[in-house]
A and B are shown apart, each in its own frame.
Chain A
């Protein structure tokens, strides 16, 4: 059973002739980690914004468990590229913010926040102020906050784009572990080809003008990591390298803004 479905969805910017996204259909189900990869202008951010409900489609249907999606909601947790934590709350309060909005009692909120802090490896950080955290730690808190209200799907908008290479690898590993443990469908957008190939169980290649899906790949590397294989073994596997080079060539061949993809 698919949780989230997009059925021939298109989106326009007001006044623009070419649609940002044209005729997108996809399904996000449990145990799937769908990654949208594409150059800037290919509409991957718009795609995430559509699913999150920040913008509305101009055609087609988006539904979650057969219910149409209308506007943002707590059933779709979002992790943003930049940290959007609330600086007047400490780490634990930030994680429990969605629960506070939903009127959950304080003891229940704190217990849930503590559980998530352990999940993202920040068990000792609950009382910290958010501005004392490093970039990677902030993204961990962002992930914990998005998971706190137990959303049906997890949406991630270039979540590791602003991190250094070492932290990024740690975060990818953390994400795969969390994904395996929660079994939630994850939808992640990125312009990092290696990241996309490593994480995805379904990889969507997007092309611009108009934004559309040009290829879909089913991959196993993220799953293999989640089953316990090491990241280095996977990334030095000839199959991984071959896939990465293939995706790279596909991205090169269908777009002209190369810098973004590199």
Chain B
């Protein structure tokens, strides 16, 4: 019982030893970002690049304030952001409630694997933008088409990750639960699903990344509101500061989603990477 705290102590000692004489990776990353920002500021400040191609950081920030208060193309920045987030939120929710059961079925059942595996493997490698025109023909250019496109993009990674997680559950763990009297449904609910949770969350992370890029691309083509639409319509009028701002916001949102999911993963599956 005393071995664990001892091991922890020596591990932390080693880590602090390392950081004692070298700067942390995070500091390096922050310095890189700061240098880029400085370079951006310098080239615009000294007039090396025409503001039409690259507006100054201050101009972009100012435009950001303007967008947040008065808006662009009949909607404020928040409304653009909100409709993008709403689309991905609905698509993600639908994908989670459908892809996880399908993934469990693929992982547990030979017939379900025979049905779904080829279907998913067939459409997964196709870039969603390649079948967007077909979706538009079938379902029009309304909200439904965009949500459907994102849904399809998120569905495959979650279903595949779930199936992998379900298939790799330790058979001894299943036997142990059975010998404690678990029924088939209890096995899925109490053993298989929590065991596969780390893989499922990884699938959600990948799916959300794919979904976000698909969303922005879909809005470039057919939308009247949303971050992708904002960037696209600004580009048509050469309003470069809005374009730059839109790209930055898209990147920040993607980064925030990733960080949020990593935090969720740490909270929900703290045993991951602990020898289990």
Query: Which residue numbers of A lie inside 8 Å of B, CB to CB?
Result: 52-54, 71-74, 76-78, 80, 82, 84, 86-88, 97-98, 100-102, 129-132, 134, 137, 145-146, 149, 155
Given known A-B contacts A131-B271, A134-B1, A145-B180, A88 and B172 have beta carbons under 8 A apart? no
Q: Which of B1, B170, B176, B179 has the most CB of A within 10 A?
A: B179
Contacts of B191 in A (CB 8 A): 86
* Bound-complex Cα distance A52 to B182 (A): 14
Is A101 a contact of B190 with CB atoms below 8 Å? yes
Is B271 a contact of A78 with CB atoms below 8 Å? no
Contacts of A101 in B (CB 8 A): 177, 180-183, 186, 190
Interface presence of B64 (CB below 8 A): no
Q: Name the 3 nearest CB pairs between A and B, nearest first.
A: A74-B181, A87-B271, A98-B180
Contacts of A72 in B (CB 8 A): 175, 178-179
Given known A-B contacts A88-B269, A132-B4, A134-B3, A97 and B173 have beta carbons under 8 A apart? no
Contacts of A86 in B (CB 8 A): 173, 190-191, 194
Given known A-B contacts A84-B170, A87-B274, A52 and B194 have beta carbons under 8 A apart? no
Is B181 a contact of A84 with CB atoms below 8 Å? no
* Bound-complex Cα distance A54 to B174 (A): 10
Q: Which of A84, A98, A100, A146 is B172 in contact with, Cβ under 8 Å?
A: A84
Q: How many residues of B contact A (CB 8 A)?
A: 26
Query: Which residue numbers of B lie inside 8 Å of A, CB to CB?
Result: 1, 3-4, 170, 172-173, 175-183, 186, 190-191, 194, 197, 269-271, 274-276
Given known A-B contacts A86-B194, A131-B276, A137-B1, A80 and B271 have beta carbons under 8 A apart? no
Contacts of A137 in B (CB 8 A): 1
Is A80 a contact of B190 with CB atoms below 8 Å? no
Nearest Cβ in chain A — how far from B265, in angstroms? 13
Contacts of B194 in A (CB 8 A): 86, 88
* Bound-complex Cα distance A72 to B178 (A): 6
Q: Which of A88, A97, A146 is B271 in contact with, Cβ under 8 Å?
A: A88
Contacts of B271 in A (CB 8 A): 87-88, 129-131
Closest A residue to B190 by CB, please name it. A101
Q: List 29 A-B contacts (CB under 8 A).
A: A52-B175, A53-B179, A71-B178, A72-B175, A72-B178, A73-B181, A74-B180, A77-B180, A78-B179, A80-B172, A80-B176, A82-B172, A84-B175, A86-B190, A88-B194, A97-B177, A97-B180, A98-B181, A101-B182, A101-B183, A101-B186, A102-B181, A129-B270, A130-B276, A131-B271, A131-B275, A132-B4, A146-B179, A149-B181
Nearest Cβ in chain A — how far from B195, in angstroms? 8
* Bound-complex Cα distance A41 to B139 (A): 62
* Bound-complex Cα distance A74 to B172 (A): 16
Contacts of A73 in B (CB 8 A): 179, 181
Closest A residue to B269 by CB, please name it. A88
Contacts of A78 in B (CB 8 A): 175-176, 179
Nearest Cβ in chain A — how far from B65, in angstroms? 46
Is A87 a contact of B179 with CB atoms below 8 Å? no
Contacts of A131 in B (CB 8 A): 271, 274-276
* Bound-complex Cα distance A72 to B271 (A): 28
Contacts of A149 in B (CB 8 A): 180-181
Nearest Cβ in chain B — how far from A55, in angstroms? 10
* Bound-complex Cα distance A88 to B180 (A): 17
* Bound-complex Cα distance A102 to B170 (A): 22
* Bound-complex Cα distance A87 to B172 (A): 14
Closest A residue to B182 by CB, please name it. A101
Nearest Cβ in chain A — how far from B213, in angstroms? 32
Starting from the known contacts A72-B178, A101-B186, A134-B1, 7 additional A-B residue pairs (CB-CB under 8 Å) come to A74-B181, A82-B172, A86-B194, A87-B271, A101-B181, A130-B271, A131-B271
Contacts of B275 in A (CB 8 A): 131
Closest B residue to A98 by CB, please name it. B180
* Bound-complex Cα distance A72 to B171 (A): 14
Nearest Cβ in chain A — how far from B141, in angstroms? 44
Q: Which of B1, B173, B183 is A84 in contact with, Cβ under 8 Å?
A: B173
Closest A residue to B274 by CB, please name it. A131
* Bound-complex Cα distance A82 to B173 (A): 10
Is B179 a contact of A77 with CB atoms below 8 Å? yes
Is B180 a contact of A52 with CB atoms below 8 Å? no
* Bound-complex Cα distance A155 to B175 (A): 13
* Bound-complex Cα distance A97 to B187 (A): 12
* Bound-complex Cα distance A137 to B3 (A): 12
* Bound-complex Cα distance A159 to B4 (A): 22
